[in-house]
Amino acid sequence: MSDGLTSDSLTRDLLVVGSANLDVSVPVEHLPMPGETVLGGDALWSPGGKGANQAVAASRLGRSVGFVGCVGSDAAGQQLLDALSVDGVAFAGRVIDDVPTGLAMIAVSADGENSITVSPGTNARLTAADVAAAVASTRPSVVLAQFEVPLVALAAATSGRLIVNPAPAVGPSAELSAVLDAASIVVPNQGELAQLLGVATASTHDDLVDQARALPAETVVVTLGAAGALVVDGSAVLMVESMPVQAIDTTAAGDAFCGGLADGIADGLSVADAARWAVRVAAVAVTRRGAQQSLGTRADALAVG
């Protein structure tokens, strides 16, 4: 059953195609090794999913955002829909009976690093028809997509400028090539970039630049965590430094970055300037615990540094 936008819905600046999960986050002293049981602190249950996180990140910056994904008709699905509504994100997806809403189980170490296991649930049911209907309803100038949904669904993300965050990364395939070929900007982290190409993770700056140039996209922005981001745009190479903040939880930092980047691109900024804005947006998120509740406003991002 569809619970999305109607045909007379307003045009949206940005359409986010991706996942919505209920996150269960537990603080631990250190991330568990294989076979190890680690006692943690109190669990935090909160709305998440890379797609929903990125949609909320952009919406809190003042962007007009639509989101296309799938949730279940369970309590978790309703919680996620309510959270999107509170943040002004228009839901353009489907509510599916008899399939559980996606779930992410997150361990967060004392130094802010995390380990995440995702059960996709309804996210795996997103189709190209769902995306095509959302594109027709929202008529976005920018589309932002991730890989927590089937790659074949992204084939319909043909409206506006396509930004692809290939997370979680997959190895080379025809489906991957089709998505990357259609993208204007690809935003992997260092490990994801290597996996997309089927090679070892780059060990030097020059190797990283060469790998970025090997992707079939106009522009590649490699996120580097506390080191910032690398922008490779044709022959131009630029390092964008991160902001000096005390990180306590990196759970949604990449999603905040992508939401900020898409916001900047929708505003007409160059990729370099959009990346500079995105590191500010990400800096806010790492100073707060959780996923969507860690995402800041435009004023928060401007106040960093």
Helical segments of 98-252, H only: 128-138, 174-182, 190-197, 205-214
d(CA 229, CA 133): 34
* Residue whose token pair is 């045009």: 11
| Residue 255 designated active-site | yes
d(CA 186, CA 292): 22
Which residue in the list 87, 249, 255, 263 is annotated as catalytic?
255
Q: Could you give the maximum distance between any two Cα atoms of the chain, in Å?
A: 53
Residues annotated as part of the active site? 255
